[in-house]
Amino acid sequence: MKELDDEAVVLRTYKSGEADRVGVLWTRHHGKLRVLAKGVRKTSSRMGGSLEPMGHVKVDLVKGRGDLWITKHVTHLERMTNLRSDYARISAGLAVVEVVDAIPTDEAADEGIFEMLVRVLLTLDDTHYHPELVAASFFFRLLSYDGSEPVVEFCVNCESPGPLVAFNAEVGGTLCANCRTGTTISQDALQLIRRILGADLAGVLREDNPPGSGEVMALAHEAIENHFGKRLKVSRSTAPLAPHFDSPSA
């Protein structure tokens, strides 16, 4: 019987049968796995709340049918009580795990994504950091990790240094006044994205609602949805809307 043990983050769960639950995990060494926790919904189950979204856990599994694994043991590695006691932190965490869950299942195991995922959840659990821009920052950093980092230093169309007045995820980043399409972007939001993608992410997250935050949240969600080619339910519900240009300026 094939067995494995690994470190994992729970991305989502859903009911199965009368007392079981299926969990979707992103593991350190084995990529995305589906696991069946038998009897976990019974009040007598020792696994109880161990298999819950955003949980950072240690899992011992045995191979089941198809791509399904059966849980032998699930134990918490981090409780993250601050994350779970604050609505804004919960919302940001759910948006983060939804985006990781959107990564295609045929992707190979990626320890780098796992490390990023754990770090962002620990950041949300740390009250020294404000939660509002954590998910947006993770989306931009994930795009950068994937090699799809948006251009924010010059016009992605004509390479003009600016002024840069728009952001269009479909074309890959910022645009000047002559090339503008997509979404308006203020200089505050532009500088904030540059700090996020640069070396000042921790500084950004320590600030309470820095100028341009709402725009950055909207643009990050637009960029990550464009990358995956689909709307993301939780992520979209947490992002403010931003005005769009209908066409390039004449």
CA 31 from chain centre, in angstroms, equals 16
- What pLDDT score was predicted for residue 79? 85
* pTM listed for this prediction: 0.89
CB contact set of 25 (below 8 Å; sequence gap of 6+): 8, 9, 10, 11, 32, 33, 34, 35, 57, 59
Strands 31-37 and 56-63: unpaired
User: What's the pLDDT score for residue 47?
Assistant: 59
Average pLDDT, the chain: 88
Residue 233's pLDDT is 80
Q: What percent of the chain has pLDDT over 90?
A: 72
Write out pLDDT tens, residues 191-248.
999 999 999 999 999 999 999 999 999 999 999 999 999 888 865 555 554 544 443 3
Domains plus CATH for the chain?
Answer: 3-81 (2.40.50.140), 132-245 (no CATH)
Residue type, 125: D
pLDDT of residue 133: 96
User: How do residues 181-191 score in pLDDT, each as one tens digit?
Assistant: 999 999 999 99
